[in-house]
């Protein structure tokens, strides 16, 4: 399959700080790819280098086969970038802004039908002639997405597109982005919302201090990092030292609840037998699916 | 692929947007400087007309008008590119341009031409109002045009440099207050440098604004303090140097791309 984006040993240093430290990452055409990581992990720096807003210290980046520095004009034709900040031009209305943006890419009057179609699909038709200053935050967010689409790029990069938007709008944006992916666009999404990556992305890369700490399909990552957890409520009076009774299985404690990380299904028998032998009563029991958030926290070491 | 047609349309789109940007606030960008220019004209000509004759056979009011036109043209050419860039940088919408395939040459061209257009438009408005008061034929229209074009271009390029360099509005204001305003006021708009002591005549000749005003005025009267061809050479040289610096800045991405 053709590569939509290729990061090759990309580095970006700001003085002593290594914001991006040797990232190599191919993204296939048609993928829905997620970039996850805590603040300062290097996600936005990576996107900014792809967009040509920041020059890498070392390495190379290509979009649809075009080097983003040496062949920046063709690379930028291939990319539709939705910036993280809610920026807008206060002199113009939404339709004008979109037409100007299309014009910068050499799209003339014949593209106006497409501009109006995007406006409609993003539910902004009633605001098409409204000055950008007068739009709400959610509308401005949708306008930014529209702006990234005006030149029909094959690759769309969304830098935290649902940050600060309400639940309803988030769902609408999710379904719109999914539609774009079904239509054949490659989507690259950076997000803090792990449920967003879990719900949308086929593959994710987790970043920490400028490095990729995990790269796999979302389903493989979920499988790889423990299938399930066993959550038990125990009679606390009889517990002296649980780690001596149940050896080799990690657990965490939250009040009366003990959550055990299951490596294999026989771990359940092992835990229950050990508790029975120590005369510790099980008051309640449930199994919990591992989610991306737990994996993310383990890999990034972020306890918050 | 980014074809030549795409590039031409891209440049035209940015130029159109820049023209529309100042047209949307025409009271601020055109009406205000025109009124300021006319006020200068009325006040100075009221006080000095009939008492001062700078060139033989040229009333003071007539002498004043080309200087005021050129001063407004230069200030507004500077304002157009500089204010557009600083506003875009502070609002963050400069990113819309930086994400496009527009090259540094296309950016330079669009910002420069829109600056010249605004400067010339303000200048023409002042001229059209002034000729209600006084008969002011233009002896050499092509000289007037050349000085207006290169002067406006020079200041448009300087405006791009100031807009790219400045991070805050007060830094931008410093360019206007401490560079543009003193240089334009001391350029011979209101007087001939021959009326100054020798030392200040020599100092005036270090001011590039003096050559822009003096050469432009030659186009109206066929009289000037120094040779108009020398002035045109100086103005063209400054235009080329500033354009070169501007293009180098835009190409390097200085203060625009990290």
| DSSP codes joined into one string, A12-37 | EEETTEEEEEEEEEEEETT-EEEEE-
- Rounded to the nearest 5°, which phi and psi values hold at B92? 90, -5
- Lowest mean pLDDT across A199-203, B54-58, B93-97, B119-123: B54-58
Q: What is the pLDDT of residues B137-151, one digit of tens each?
A: 899 999 999 999 999
State the Cα–Cα distance between residues A113 and A131, nearest whole angstrom. Answer: 20
Strands in A186-191's sheet, in edge-to-edge order, are A79-82, A155-159, A186-191, A32-36, A203-208, A211-217
The Cβ of residue A301 has, within 10 Å, a number of other Cβ atoms equal to 10
Calculate how close chain A gets to B249, using CA atoms only, in Å: 15
| H or E element that contains A62 | strand A58-63
Burial label for A130, CB within 10 Å (0-12, 13-18, 19+), is: middle
State the Cα–Cα distance between residues A109 and B64, nearest whole angstrom. Answer: 46
pLDDT of residue B118: 97
**For A112-140, what is the mean pLDDT?**
94
Contact call for residues A165 and A138 (beta carbons, < 8 A): yes
The ipTM of this complex is 0.91
- DSSP letters along A201-268, please? -SEEEEEETTEEEEEEEHHHHHHHS-SEEEEEEE-GGG-S-HHHHSTT--EEEETTEEEEEESSTHHH
Between chains, do B257 and A55 touch, taking CB under 8 Å as contact?
yes
The residue with greater pLDDT, A19 or A194, is A19
pLDDT of residue A134: 95
Between chains, do A87 and B257 touch, taking CB under 8 Å as contact?
no
pLDDT of residue A153: 96
pLDDT of residue B197: 86
Between A and B, how many residue pairs show a Cβ–Cβ distance under 8 A? 91
SS3 A159: strand
State the Cα–Cα distance between residues B103 and B97, nearest whole angstrom. Answer: 10
Closest chain B residue to the Cα of A48, Cα to Cα: B258
- Which ranges in chain B belong to alpha helices (H)? 4-24, 26, 32-48, 60-91, 94-98, 104-130, 141-165, 169-175, 181-185, 198-204, 208-221, 228-252
Between chains, do B258 and A92 touch, taking CB under 8 Å as contact?
no
How sure is the predictor about A195, in pLDDT bands with cuts at 50, 70 and 90? confident
Contact call for residues B86 and B172 (beta carbons, < 8 A): yes
How sure is the predictor about A263, in pLDDT bands with cuts at 50, 70 and 90? confident
Calculate how close chain B gets to A100, using CA atoms only, in Å: 6
Asked whether residue B37 carries a pLDDT value surpassing 80, the answer given is yes
How sure is the predictor about B221, in pLDDT bands with cuts at 50, 70 and 90? very high
Between chains, do A108 and B16 touch, taking CB under 8 Å as contact?
no
Between chains, do A87 and B21 touch, taking CB under 8 Å as contact?
no
The Cβ of residue A52 has, within 10 Å, a number of other Cβ atoms equal to 23
- Rounded to the nearest 5°, which phi and psi values hold at B109? -60, -50
The reply to whether A72 touches chain B by the CB within 8 Å rule is yes
Domains of chain A: 3-223 (3.40.50.300), 227-290 (3.30.70.100)
Which residues, in sequence order, are CB contacts of A154 under 8 Å at separation 6+? A4, A29, A64, A78, A184, A185, A186
State the Cα–Cα distance between residues A3 and A69, nearest whole angstrom. Answer: 17
The Cβ of residue A2 has, within 10 Å, a number of other Cβ atoms equal to 10
Say if pTM beats, i.e. exceeds, 0.80. yes
- Rounded to the nearest 5°, which phi and psi values hold at A207? -110, 145
State the Cα–Cα distance between residues A207 and A34, nearest whole angstrom. Answer: 10
Between chains, do A74 and B101 touch, taking CB under 8 Å as contact?
yes
Minimal CA–CA distance to A252: which of A183, A303, A200?
A303
How sure is the predictor about A298, in pLDDT bands with cuts at 50, 70 and 90? low
């Amino acid at each position: 399959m053709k590569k939509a984006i290729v990061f090759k040993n990309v580095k970006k240093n700001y003085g002593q700080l290594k914001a991006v430290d040797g990232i190599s990452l191919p993204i296939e055409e048609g993928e829905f790819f997620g970039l996850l990581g805590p603040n300062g992990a290097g996600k936005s720096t990576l996107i900014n280098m792809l967009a040509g807003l920041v020059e890498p210290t070392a390495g190379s980046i290509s979009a649809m086969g075009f080097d983003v520095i040496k062949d920046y004009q063709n690379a930028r034709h291939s990319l539709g970038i939705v910036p993280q900040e809610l920026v807008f031009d206060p002199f113009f209305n939404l339709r004008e802004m979109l037409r100007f943006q299309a014009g910068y890419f050499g799209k003339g009057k014949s593209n106006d039908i497409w501009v109006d179609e995007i406006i409609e699909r993003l539910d902004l038709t009633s605001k098409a002639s409204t000055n950008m200053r007068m739009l709400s935050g959610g509308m401005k967010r949708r306008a930014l997405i529209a702006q990234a689409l005006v030149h029909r790029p094959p690759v769309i990069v969304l830098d935290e597109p649902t940050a600060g938007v309400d639940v309803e709008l988030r769902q609408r944006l999710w379904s719109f982005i999914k539609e774009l992916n079904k239509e054949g666009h490659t989507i690259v999404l950076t997000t803090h919302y792990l449920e967003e990556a879990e719900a949308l992305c086929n593959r994710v890369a987790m970043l920490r201090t400028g490095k990729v700490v995990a790269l796999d399909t979302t389903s493989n990552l979920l499988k790889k990092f423990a299938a399930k957890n066993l959550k038990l409520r125990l009679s606390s009076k009889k517990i002296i030292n649980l780690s001596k009774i149940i050896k080799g299985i990690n657990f965490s404690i939250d009040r009366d609840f003990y959550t055990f990380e299951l490596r294999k299904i026989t771990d359940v028998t092992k835990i229950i037998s050990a508790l029975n032998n120590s005369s510790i009563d099980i008051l309640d029991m449930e199994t919990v699916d591992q989610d991306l958030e737990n994996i993310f926290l383990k890999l990034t070491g972020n306890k918050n | 692929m980014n074809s030549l047609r795409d590039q031409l349309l891209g440049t035209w789109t940015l130029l159109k947007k820049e023209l529309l940007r100042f047209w949307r606030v025409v009271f601020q960008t055109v009406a205000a400087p025109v009124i300021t220019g006319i006020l200068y004209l009325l006040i100075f000509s009221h006080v000095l007309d009939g008492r001062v004759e700078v060139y033989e056979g040229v009333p003071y009011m007539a002498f004043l008008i080309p200087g005021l036109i050129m001063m407004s043209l230069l200030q507004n050419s500077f304002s157009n590119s500089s204010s557009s860039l600083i506003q875009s940088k502070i609002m963050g919408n400069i990113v819309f341009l930086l994400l496009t395939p527009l090259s540094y040459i296309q950016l330079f061209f669009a910002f420069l031409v829109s600056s010249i257009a605004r400067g010339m438009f303000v200048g023409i408005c002042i001229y059209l109002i002034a000729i209600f008061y006084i008969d002011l034929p233009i002896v050499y229209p092509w000289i007037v045009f050349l000085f207006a074009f290169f002067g406006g271009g020079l200041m448009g390029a300087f405006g791009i440099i100031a807009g790219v360099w400045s991070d805050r509005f007060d830094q931008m204001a410093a360019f206007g207050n401490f560079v543009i305003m003193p240089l334009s006021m001391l350029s011979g708009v209101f007087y001939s440098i021959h009326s100054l002591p020798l030392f200040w005549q020599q100092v005036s000749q270090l001011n590039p604004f003096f050559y822009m005003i003096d050469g432009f005025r030659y186009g109206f009267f066929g009289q000037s303090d120094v040779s108009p061809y020398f002035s045109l050479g100086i103005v063209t040289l400054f235009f080329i140097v500033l354009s070169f610096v501007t293009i180098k800045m835009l190409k390097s991405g200085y203060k625009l791309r990290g």
